Amino acid sequence: MDAAALTLKFPRTQSLKSIDMPTFAVANDELTEIVRYLRDTQGFDLLADLCGVDWPDRSPRFGVVLHLLSTTNKEYVRLHAACDNDAVPSVTSVHPGANWHEREAYDMFGIKFTGHPDPRRILMWESYPYHPLRKEFPLAGIEVPLPAADVAAVTGQNVEPAPMMGGPFVSHGGHMSSAEPQALDQSWNEEKPKA
């Protein structure tokens, strides 16, 4: 990784301390250009991951983290881009595999990717009013009426929610915000081996 060449070409790029790989904070409006530069000149030819982050006490609150891999040099680089009005440029023009990553970050955090070819939710239905990985979203979830009209229209049938017996996580003692969540024991519904 030629960090000097990167910061020389993009002077607003800042090197960040990291114990595992070169890490940089990049300017929002230069994100796509930097990803293209790293692919074309430094061999970072694989987008390994792209995810949203939520820092409620910072401004801007949301950001995006990308991990790029050079399959030739067997080396990773991490990029951090802060959102501008909850948006960053899409990198799908450089790495088409970013498509689903960006849709997930939009769905879970509400981060918009300008220039994305298909900016729909990927996990929740389109009319779902929340973004479940935001820090204020409760672990137990927020009850919404099911089935949603658009889900029922897609399936062409009435959709019944699967029974979760209170959700996938339970808390033993204390308030949910301060207690460690644990996976709910659902072994009662597992198929038992026949004797």
Could you give the CA distance from residue 61 to residue 84 in angstroms, rounded to a whole number? 9
The single-letter DSSP state of residue 53 is E
Give every strand in the sheet of 62-70, ordered side by side: 14-16, 23-26, 75-82, 62-70, 46-54
Q: From 75, 77, 142, 134, select the one nearest 106 (Cα to Cα).
A: 134
Name the CATH code of domain 3-123 (choices 3.40.50.620, 3.30.460.80, 1.10.10.10, 1.20.1050.40): 3.30.460.80
What is the structure's pLDDT at 40?
A: 97
CA distance 141 to 130: 10
- Position 187 scores a pLDDT of 56
- C-alpha Rg value of the chain to the nearest Å: 21
Pair of tokens at residue 15:
């090197």
**Block residue for tokens 């061999």:** 43
Taking the domains of the chain in order of start, what are their residue ranges?
A: 3-123
- What's CA 63's distance to the chain center, in Å? 10
CA angle 63, 117, 51 (to 5 degrees): 25
Both tokens of residue 41?
């000149």
Per-residue pLDDT of the chain (195 residues; tens, 9 = 90+): 889 999 999 999 999 999 999 999 999 999 999 999 999 999 999 999 999 999 999 999 999 999 999 999 999 999 999 999 999 999 999 999 999 999 999 999 999 999 999 999 998 888 888 999 999 998 888 888 765 565 555 555 555 555 555 555 555 555 555 555 555 555 555 565 665
Distance CA 2, CA 13 (A): 13
Tell me, what's the pLDDT at 31?
97
**pLDDT at site 90:** 97
Q: What pLDDT is stored for residue 195 in this prediction?
A: 57
The per-residue pLDDT for 34 is: 98
Q: Which two tokens stand for residue 11?
A: 């002077």
Residue 102: other Cβ atoms inside 10 A: 26
Provide the pLDDT for residue 47.
97
